[in-house]
Amino acid sequence: MENCIFCKIINQQQHGYIISQNESVTAFLDIHPVTEGHVLVVPNEHVEKLHNMNNPETVTALINTLIDTANLLVKSNICTDYSIIQSNGKYAEQDINHLHFHIIPRHQHDEVVFKLDTNTNAALEDNLMKVFNDLIKN
Ligand SMILES: [Zn+2]
């Protein structure tokens, strides 16, 4: 994709702090880090959302790079704990339309907040059963 900042970093048309790169996946520092050591892991191929991933080799490479990068953060004494965040689409607040996983180092009192409040209506037994039935019939 011509105007995709992540594609430009992957193809080295734009400077990026690339930590690792293979034929399928690139990991680089987020230049708007939530905490020190915040890394983005992306497929080299421009794919917008997770459900658009259809190359099993890239899927395997992605999960391997996530694990390798987490290990690197721990080995480098940047963190022992971390959150992995991945959002799809504007309502999920995906900012760059190129699939990416955030690995965010976490520390005691880091004041990073991910709010995952329970929707009490969705939690009602009838609603859980409706969604369950919708999902299992497909
Ligand atoms: Zn892209």
Distance between CA atoms of residues 71 and 79, nearest Å: 10
Kindly tell me if the per-residue pLDDT of 76 is higher than 90: yes
pLDDT-derived band at 99 (thresholds 50, 70, 90) equals very high
Percent of the chain with pLDDT over 90: 96
pLDDT of 5-46, one tens digit each?
A: 999 999 999 999 999 999 999 999 999 999 999 999 999 999
Mean pLDDT value across residues 70-80? 98
Distance 71 CA to ligand 1 centre (A): 26
- In the structure encoding, which two tokens stand for residue 127, read together? 């609603």
Distance 46 CA to ligand 1 centre (A): 4
Q: Could you give phi then psi for residue 104, rounded to 5 degrees?
A: -115, 110
Kindly tell me if the per-residue pLDDT of 1 is higher than 80: no
> What is the pLDDT, as a whole number, of residue 2?
77
Q: Where are the domains of the chain?
A: 5-111
Beta bridge partners of 18: 28
> What is the pLDDT, as a whole number, of residue 134?
96
Q: What class has domain 5-111?
A: alpha beta
Tokens 């490479």 appear where? Answer: 61
Distance between CA atoms of residues 20 and 27, nearest Å: 5
Distance between CA atoms of residues 43 and 116, nearest Å: 27
Sign of CA pseudo-dihedral 63, 7, 30, 92 = negative
pLDDT-derived band at 87 (thresholds 50, 70, 90) equals very high
> What is the pLDDT, as a whole number, of residue 138?
81
- Computed over every residue of the chain, the mean pLDDT equals 96
| Catalytic-residue membership of 100 | yes
Distance 68 CA to ligand 1 centre (A): 22
Distance 7 CA to ligand 1 centre (A): 4
In sequence order, what DSSP letters do the residues of 94-134 get, joined into one string?
--SSS--EEEEEE-TT----------TTTTSHHHHHHHHHH
Contact 46, 4 (CB under 8 A): yes
Q: Which of 100, 102, 107, 109 is catalytic?
A: 100
Percent of the chain with pLDDT over 70: 99
pLDDT-derived band at 51 (thresholds 50, 70, 90) equals very high
